Amino acid sequence: MPSVITANRLTDGVVVYLASDGEWSEQIANARVADTDEETKALEAEAENAERERRIVVGAYPMPIAVRDGAVDPLSVRERIRAAHRTTLTKDWYDVPL
């Protein structure tokens, strides 16, 4: 199952994704997709370095996704809410698709 690496940024807790350029992006669209277990492990190692040495992020973990029409789509409600960077506070009922 394809996955991306996500974490929270250390300084402000904002949700970020390990991007193709090796930086951390707030946009899931920029996330680098790992298609195999080996690729996921390589990204995890990169994330650990960002967590321990560079102190950019906290709590990095691989997150299963689907790629639909070229777009990265989180599989769980929790990850959809994280990716949206917002809550239902300012929107209507079911603004985050189930």
Contact between 15 and other proteins by CB under 8 A: the answer reads yes
- Selected from 11, 27, 36, 49, the binder of other proteins by CB under 8 A is 11
Contact between 68 and other proteins by CB under 8 A: the answer reads no
- Selected from 25, 33, 39, 75, the binder of other proteins by CB under 8 A is 75
> What is the SS3 string spanning the chain?
CCEEEEEEECCCCCEEEEECCCCEECCHHHECCECCHHHHHHHHHHHHHHHHCCCCEEEEEEEEEEEECCEEEECCHHHHHHHHCCCCCCCCCCCCCC
Rounded to a whole number of angstroms, the minimum distance from the CB of residue 38 to other proteins is 26
Site size toward other proteins (CB under 8 A) is 26
Contact between 8 and other proteins by CB under 8 A: the answer reads yes
Closer of 20 and 66 to other proteins (Cβ): 66
Closer of 42 and 84 to other proteins (Cβ): 84
